[in-house]
Chains A and B, each alone.
Chain A
């Protein structure tokens, strides 16, 4: 030790060796520079579409960011939000949605929904991106491909209203027996399995989008796995798709509707789920819009951004396990839990997310009834906390179940911070108000689903988002035959109302059935609604016509136009 001290404190050694080190350092930095320079050529080959500007007036283009790369763009098999987002811009179904979320003609000029079927008359100026016309055969082919067992489409259930669809997916009937026929290039006839008054809303969904037989067959089983193995009939086409890195959508010159698709180019340059990274990109003027989490709001307000919010469509609730032998099968027990909580407290005092609202119903606030919002026609039962009454019901349950003491209740939840926070809130709440012991079972997504499906829980923190823009997408959730009814709730009264809601042609009677379902869900305590999830977001003010939607693509650039800001 003494020796080394002697040497290292030797100043002349240090300074001379230091000079040598500095010489090496210069050499190393030069080398590093050369390597970086070399790599900068290689890096261009590996993709990436960053343009440097969110809004580009010169090229009439915008740059955006998405959370995930679409797994594939096959509309007949797509099941995820990132695919739906892209498909909503590059394909069009028979019926489409306008700027205000109303149904609008798509490829079909007009249509007729009857009790036993539907007829669609197609416009003759709807074209594929190779200039050929979109015909009724393209829909017949696509729908048959969806239900074909070989396709193994997870969303095939959406076609079950079409005659024989369910039997075909089960392999009991040939694909050709599906109740859809292209009578001519311009006329598509559909036969129903049962009356389906909401069919026009289903048809607007991705799974019902068209595909051209000769083209799909020419892709050798790799349809829509890349930009050039797909045909487009929407406002935009996918020009370039560097998998996992970037996409470029361009205006589709063959698209018929002049009121959609105003931009020449949309660059999807960034793929990340990191909300902070997106915020930074927005601040730096690299992307046109971003969602804001609660912690970002103060800064957003400081910068005087115009903050908007919209329900993202999903409603979250505590779903009970109604299987026999479960504590939660007892109605008084469930009632006690219902009376001892208050969703407003959860949302405003615990979660504190700006765009979330407390929920009182299975049906979110934006769902429409006959004329107006369903909530206006059939106001949901507002929850009132009544601890004393809750305890009475708990005592009743104790007697009915013949228990002296309640065993611990298992709350199954996801492993997200939001899921854990919610579960911990209820754990504390029910301990305090009812003296119940709650055990939290936090699981990764797939395992939570597996436990939900097998019934390994008492209460599960669940959520449900809409597939199509009709109350039934929520309304049939607790019918005894719905596979997504993972708590296995079953009542003849509920089933009867769901059947009315499915088949009733009179909108008023149909809305009444939804009102009944809403009441049953509350009275029978099928679930305890917690909150509707919303999203706060900010958009570059130079964009006009930007839409976020509760149903369908979460963001919609189809109506976006660019307008320069007026100088103050």
Chain B
């Protein structure tokens, strides 16, 4: 029961957060310098007025906001400014799955890799495997994703031309081969971060009272490691995993660009550059809601893994 009440409370908070995001974005966007309807070719006053009327930009800002909110509650984000025949809903529906698949895979790589490498470095602290892995971790955290993406692609090209066959596709989307390398590239930074987090968390726990007690009681090391050390060390990792999922799924713009992947990230970034109001609003609110949901999801997951959280 308590968990149901907890979820309900968090969901209500979440809705309020999303409303706040929508409102802030709406007014911030309208205050960004630049005119969304201006294009390379100048329009006559009459043509411009026709276009303004079409998008409802001829109404006062307050009215536009109210219309926007009422459309939002019906789940309608409107028509894109730059892609006139396309509903923002359609754009999200068609392209988010691509970003999501890429993101899910990247997060899986990151989480599995981060936890395993982190545990390994903690076990072999201050020995060769630790030094070696931590060296790559520092690289992974500090090298930006566009460099890694470009390098990754270059490696594929050179590998393909050396082998004489297309082992991995250079870019594009549609098959298993297309998603492996981009998702690894996308997950790499998070994997490095999680490795470091896992390592420090493991080391903290290994010196805790309960592990010492377990050792003193003569429990087998494998059991101490699995039941006490690993399980407790994972908790902080799970905590950051929620925002990480959202960050990876929304932050794939560079990877999507380099690997020509038809994800939502491209629309997110281009819309801001082109002041495509409806797409900016649609993607921001969607991603905002997604992030909020992920955080709630992780909180619930946390409760399942750690009984102490459930109790309180």
Q: Is B262 an interface residue (CB 8 A)?
A: yes
- Whether B108 lies near A35 (C-beta < 8 A) is yes
A151 neighbours in B (Cβ, 8 Å): 50
- Whether A43 lies near B176 (C-beta < 8 A) is yes
- Whether B207 lies near A40 (C-beta < 8 A) is no
Q: Is A408 an interface residue (CB 8 A)?
A: no
Interface residues of A in 1-55 (CB under 8 A from B): 1, 3-4, 7-9, 12-14, 16-21, 24-25, 28-29, 31-32, 35-37, 39-40, 42-50, 52
Q: Is B247 an interface residue (CB 8 A)?
A: no
A31 neighbours in B (Cβ, 8 Å): 112
Interface residues of B in 12-68 (CB under 8 A from A): 33-36, 38-44, 46-47, 50-51, 53-54
Given contacts A71-B83, A276-B153, 17 further A-B contacts (CB under 8 A): A9-B125, A16-B220, A21-B225, A44-B175, A46-B101, A50-B174, A71-B80, A152-B50, A169-B46, A243-B90, A270-B260, A283-B161, A286-B169, A446-B34, A449-B35, A449-B38, A450-B35
A410 neighbours in B (Cβ, 8 Å): none
B124 neighbours in A (Cβ, 8 Å): 14, 18
- Whether B123 lies near A244 (C-beta < 8 A) is no
Q: Is A271 an interface residue (CB 8 A)?
A: yes
Given the interface contacts A14-B124, A272-B260, does A72 sit within 8 Å of B86 by beta carbon?
yes
Residues of B within 8 A of A (CB): 33-36, 38-44, 46-47, 50-51, 53-54, 80, 82-86, 90-91, 94-95, 97-98, 101, 104-105, 108-109, 112, 115-116, 119-120, 122-125, 150, 153-154, 156-157, 160-161, 166, 169-176, 178-180, 203, 206-207, 211-212, 215, 220-222, 224-226, 229-230, 257-260, 262, 266-267, 273-275
- Whether A225 lies near B85 (C-beta < 8 A) is yes
Partner of A154 from B47, B179, B212 at Cβ < 8 Å: B47
Q: How far is the CA of A150 from the CA of B84 in the complex (A)?
A: 14
Partner of B169 from A52, A222, A246 at Cβ < 8 Å: A52
B212 neighbours in A (Cβ, 8 Å): 3, 7
- Whether A244 lies near B112 (C-beta < 8 A) is no
| Nearest CB in chain A to that of B122: its residue | A8
Q: Counting chain A CB atoms within 10 Å of each CB, which of B83, B95, B171 scores highest?
A: B171
Interface residues of A in 234-272 (CB under 8 A from B): 242-246, 269-272
B112 neighbours in A (Cβ, 8 Å): 28-29, 31-32
Residues of A within 8 A of B (CB): 1, 3-4, 7-9, 12-14, 16-21, 24-25, 28-29, 31-32, 35-37, 39-40, 42-50, 52, 65, 71-72, 74, 77, 79, 149-157, 166, 169-171, 222-225, 242-246, 269-274, 276-277, 280-281, 283-286, 443-447, 449-450, 453, 467, 482-484, 486
| Nearest CB in chain B to that of A462: its residue | B40
Partner of B173 from A20, A47, A274 at Cβ < 8 Å: A47
Given the interface contacts A21-B119, A446-B36, A450-B35, does A245 sit within 8 Å of B173 by beta carbon?
yes
- Whether A71 lies near B225 (C-beta < 8 A) is no
| Nearest CB in chain A to that of B129: its residue | A18
Given the interface contacts A28-B116, A43-B101, does A16 sit within 8 Å of B225 by beta carbon?
yes
- Whether A447 lies near B34 (C-beta < 8 A) is yes
Chain A to chain B: the 8 pairs with minimum beta-carbon distance, closest first: A48-B174, A225-B85, A50-B172, A48-B173, A446-B34, A245-B262, A4-B207, A483-B42
- Whether B153 lies near A3 (C-beta < 8 A) is no
- A66 → chain B closest CB, angstroms: 10
Q: How far is the CA of A8 from the CA of B86 in the complex (A)?
A: 59
Partner of B166 from A36, A52, A273 at Cβ < 8 Å: A52
Q: How far is the CA of A516 from the CA of B224 in the complex (A)?
A: 91
Given the interface contacts A16-B225, A453-B38, does A8 sit within 8 Å of B206 by beta carbon?
yes
Given the interface contacts A157-B44, A243-B86, does A43 sit within 8 Å of B54 by beta carbon?
no
- Whether A40 lies near B84 (C-beta < 8 A) is no
- Whether B260 lies near A150 (C-beta < 8 A) is no
| Nearest CB in chain A to that of B229: its residue | A17
- B56 → chain A closest CB, angstroms: 13
B178 neighbours in A (Cβ, 8 Å): 43, 48, 50
- A513 → chain B closest CB, angstroms: 23
Q: How far is the CA of A512 from the CA of B222 in the complex (A)?
A: 92
Given the interface contacts A8-B122, A77-B84, A244-B267, does A20 sit within 8 Å of B260 by beta carbon?
no
- A519 → chain B closest CB, angstroms: 25
Give 14 pairs: A residue, B residue, CB < 8 Å, sorted on A: A21-B230, A39-B104, A39-B176, A46-B101, A65-B260, A79-B41, A170-B46, A225-B86, A244-B95, A274-B258, A277-B153, A283-B157, A284-B161, A453-B38
- Whether A4 lies near B203 (C-beta < 8 A) is yes
Given the interface contacts A269-B172, A271-B262, does A157 sit within 8 Å of B47 by beta carbon?
yes
A24 neighbours in B (Cβ, 8 Å): 116, 226, 230
Q: How far is the CA of A454 from the CA of B44 in the complex (A)?
A: 14
A281 neighbours in B (Cβ, 8 Å): 170-171, 260
A74 neighbours in B (Cβ, 8 Å): 84-85
A152 neighbours in B (Cβ, 8 Å): 47, 50-51, 53-54
A12 neighbours in B (Cβ, 8 Å): 221
| Nearest CB in chain B to that of A152: its residue | B50
- Whether B41 lies near A271 (C-beta < 8 A) is no
Partner of A149 from B39, B46, B179 at Cβ < 8 Å: B46
- Whether A277 lies near B259 (C-beta < 8 A) is yes
- Whether A243 lies near B170 (C-beta < 8 A) is no
- Whether B41 lies near A20 (C-beta < 8 A) is no
Partner of B51 from A19, A46, A154 at Cβ < 8 Å: A154
